[in-house]
Structure formats: C-alpha cells, structure tokens
Structure 1
Amino acid sequence: MASDTELTDAELERIQRASIQYQTEIDTAHVRELLEETSPDLLDGLSGVTAYNRLPPEEQLAREIQFFRACEADPNTRPDDPAFLFTKMTVEQGISTITVYDEYHRFEPCVDKVFKLDDDQIADLHSYITAFKDSDYYTTLRQDTQPFLEHFPKWNPANLTADNVLFGKKLYESVVNICERGFPNLLAMKRVLDGERPENEPLQRKRATSVRRELTDTDNMNAVYFDFIVKKFDPRLRNGIAHGDLLNETTQQEVRIPTEDWSYSYEEFNKVITANIANALFLTGTFMALVDWEFQMRQFDESGRDTLEL
C-alpha cells in the first residue's frame, strides 16, 4: 500500500492515461499535494457525478486514487461499497438528466432489456465493455467526453437565438464523435441478443453508417431496443457541419444546408441538439455503467442486491 503522497506504478500509469484523455499535461506534484487533504469519499462535498466530472484533472485523480486505495483495503465487496455506489450514481444521474430533457422514453426499452439479459448475455456484454475500456477507442471517447461534459450544462433548448445556434453547432461536433464511438457499444448488445459474442475491434472499425443501419433494421426484432435512440442522430446535420455547409440565417431564424436544399427552424435545430445531447449522455457513461452495475449485482444473491432508482 502506498503512503499518503507516494504514488504506485499503477497510479502513475493512471495519471499518464488521464493526461491523454484530458489532452493536457497533468501536474503530478499537485496530485501528490492533494492526496494529503483528499477524502476516500469520491464525491465528498459534491452534488453528484456531474460536479465531479467538472473538477480540474488533478483533483479528480487525487479523489480517484484515494477512492481506489480504500476499495483495495477492503476486498470483501458488497452492494453498498463505494465502487458500486459510484456506478449506481452514474446511472441514476445520467438517467435523471436525460429525463429533464424529456428524452428518457427513447432509452427505456434498452435500459429495461439490460435488466432482462440472462446471466450469459450480461457476462458477454460486460466482457465487451471491459475490453472497450482497455482500448484506444475508449481513450478517444474520453477525449471527446471532457469538453462535452464541460459545455452541455449551459445548453438551453428554449433559447431561440443566433448565439445559441452557434453554441449548439459546437456541441453537436462533440456529440457526433461520441455517437460514432458509442453506437458500436449498443451494437455489441444487439449482437449479444442475436446470440453472438461480439469483439471490440471489429465493431469499432465498422463504418458508422453500417452501425446505424443495423441498429435501426426493421427486419431484426432486436433492433427495437435501439432504434429510437439511433434515429435521432441526424447525419444530414453532421455532414453539413463537417463539410462547412451550415448556414445560420439569423434574419429568418433558420439553419440551412444549401447543398442538401434542407433547412431547420431554430426550434427544430434545438430539438435535434437536445435529443443528441441525451444520446451523448447515455453513451459516455450511463450505458456502460448500467452494464457494469447489472453484471456486478448478478454476483450476489437476489436478497443482497441493491436496486436502481430510475
């Protein structure tokens, strides 16, 4: 066990990975200083996971290190242990935020189906998610997640101004990357339902359009758990932004894509952005935490399992 300020090789490696995820240099000396005053309670003094995600990287890391040291000191895990409680809070707060945007009905079929997976299916899906978290694809997702988590709370769907459209355009750039990296994880669940054992590399390398097509395939009964999520992704808007074809018509209060002969009123544009903020929230943490939670709870007798408040 490391002393209060000494860092193990594994902890130094965690800091190195975080530096890549945050795309900034981490002040390791400052992390050591923070360890002296940091509680093992990951969310000590915070309102929840969202507040934690908005902390400076060094403070997040100091909290993580103390948190996991406390977990390692007590190997007899229980449903009320900090690691489980953090996973639970990640799911519940993610769903709560999605509900505030009045979007949860689109995710409910997928969430309910996770609870109904049999033991082999949840084990296969959890194995896939674990492999994903150990890959560069996850690091890429985390790099896109950090600016998204910083900016999305400022989004106001009722704000029908040109400035808000510019802000929404910037948000959608992050959302697109999150969806294109996160939708393959939903496809992994569909493949599990199809009776397969999905592997990380093939799904992450699959073309984004092919992933979306399979998740919305009306000829496959298992697509019903994902199509309401994926259909809200707007590839036309994605291409308009990527190709510099988006025109903000401030006098008409509409957003046009001249090359597509397509336009959105400001209200329609805001609805697209809001729906995909909900998609990004689900894909950045909520879905993966949900799979982790359900897999962890299956390790206990039913009488000892905790439940989520959704």
Structure 2
Amino acid sequence: MDFKATLRKKLVVLNSKPVASGVKEDEYFQQYLNEINKKSVTGKCRSIPRFFRFFWRLPREDELLKQKLREETRSNFLQRRSRQLLDNNELKALWMLLDQHQTNHEEQLISYKDFQKVAQLAGPKVKPYFTSMIFAKLQQGDLQGRVSIMSIFNYVMRKVWLQQTRVGLSLYDASGQGYLREADLENYISELLPTLPQLEGLERSFHSFYICTAVRKFLFFLDTLRAGRIRILDILACSFLDDLLELRDEDLSKEIQEQNWFSAPSALRVYGHYLNLDRDHNGMLSQSELAGYGSGTLTEPFLERI
C-alpha cells in the first residue's frame, strides 16, 4: 500500500470520531466563566478593592509631628548622600593615581587595564565613575584604545560638582518634591551671596533687587508653564547656575563680567535703565514711561499686555 492510500485511511478514521475535545473545552470555559460572573455580581465586593494607600501625601500644616519627621528624614538622607561624594583630598589622591598609572607622561594617556587598577586602588567612592561604559565614552580616537587622564579627571570633577550642587539645592526644597519655588530660590541666592567675591562691592540695600533680578532669570526661562516652581534637574541642566557660581572666581575679567547676567555690573546696568525710565520717581513704570525703553521700539499692544 502506498503512502497516499495510508493517509486517506487515517483521514477517514479521524472524521468518523466524535466531536473534538477542543469544542468541549470551549463549552466548559464558557460555563465556568458565566458562573464566576454571577458570583462576582451577587457577592459583597462590587468594586475594585484599594490595593495602595496615599502614604506619599504631604503632611498638613497642623500635623507638626509628621512635618518634623519628614524634615529629619530628608536631612539624614541628604547628609548620607553628601558623605558618599568625593572631597578635595580624595580628588587630589585620585589625580595622583591617574598620574602614576599613565602609559606616557608626555601624552597623559591611560590604558583600560591601568584604568581598572586605579578604580581598585582609589576606593569604593570612585567605582561608580570608573566603569567600562564611561571609559568607552571618553575615547578620543586613540589607536591603542587609551583615554586621556585629564578627560577622566574632568569627568569625575564635573559629576561630583553636579551631585554636590543637587544636594545643596535639595536643602532648600521645602516640599521635598524635587522642585524649588520662588521663595526657595530667593533663600538659596540670598545665602549664596556672601560666598561670591565678585558681589562683595554691592551695597546691602541693593541685595533685594539683585536677588529679584537673579530669581526672575531662572523663572522666566525654566518655568515655562508659569507654575511658580522649577525642577532642580532643570536648574542643573541649564547654564544659569554655572554663570552664577562663576562669580566665585576672584580673578574674573571685566569682559566676562559684562557678559554674565548675574554679575554686579550687569545687575547695576539693568537697575540703572529702570531708574532712568522712572521719571516721576514713584518706584513704578507707567505705560508711557516703559515706552521709552531701549530705542522705543516696543509696540502699543505689547505695552498694554505688560
């Protein structure tokens, strides 16, 4: 008997059998599904049960104990994160290790094996910055696959600075939600002023105007939805904070100060413009006074909206 005849006999036998089990399975499934639906309707649970509670809710003003607990918890968390960062002595020790393990003192390059050795010798704080991915990102086309030790050190310095700044800004985050309100920014800049040598010449009576000028710069560009708050991550991502902290440099040239919005000459120049516009000296600008700003190119609809 050939193969075709055998196959035809098998098909005849299969067709002569009763209904396939798959049909029975569908019937059983539909039967049990109807029974479950009836139980869920007639049972006590007529809605989806709550599987979480709002533990993240901010404490109210009258919940003093919860507020104190939250503040203490955030303070301990930020202190713990601050202790995990490299200090100046550890950064100096890291540079010495990089200098000792470079392959060529003239080129200041380091191989991946020596890169791993430095990671082991520098301690646990340095390991997050010494990964294979970071080494690959810092490649600059060296034929032997080496990386400049200056690039590695600058990368670590920049990361440490960003993390330190984030911790410092988080200390002024009163709500603990990752953003700063206008009052929080004012507190941050007012306490930052004494640490900026380039602003030492400002009179104390001018500090309030300077703080207002600096805060409005952040809010105008970063608070695009006009919510009255700015994310800390957005502050770190923009260059405004770099310009503000640049005033720590005691040897900052006059040309750079003129280009820096947060410098004393820039703030005094803006203040002088508004004083000259305020002809009646009442501390406010009317529509006609504001029309004289710059070369007088502001249109009437623009002035009416302001």
Structures share fold, TM-score greater than 0.5: no
Q: Give TM-score, length-normalised by structure 1.
A: 0.23
Q: Give TM-score, length-normalised by structure 2.
A: 0.23
Which structure carries more relative contact order (alpha carbon 8 Å, separation 6+)? 1
The structure in which a higher percent of residues are helix is 1
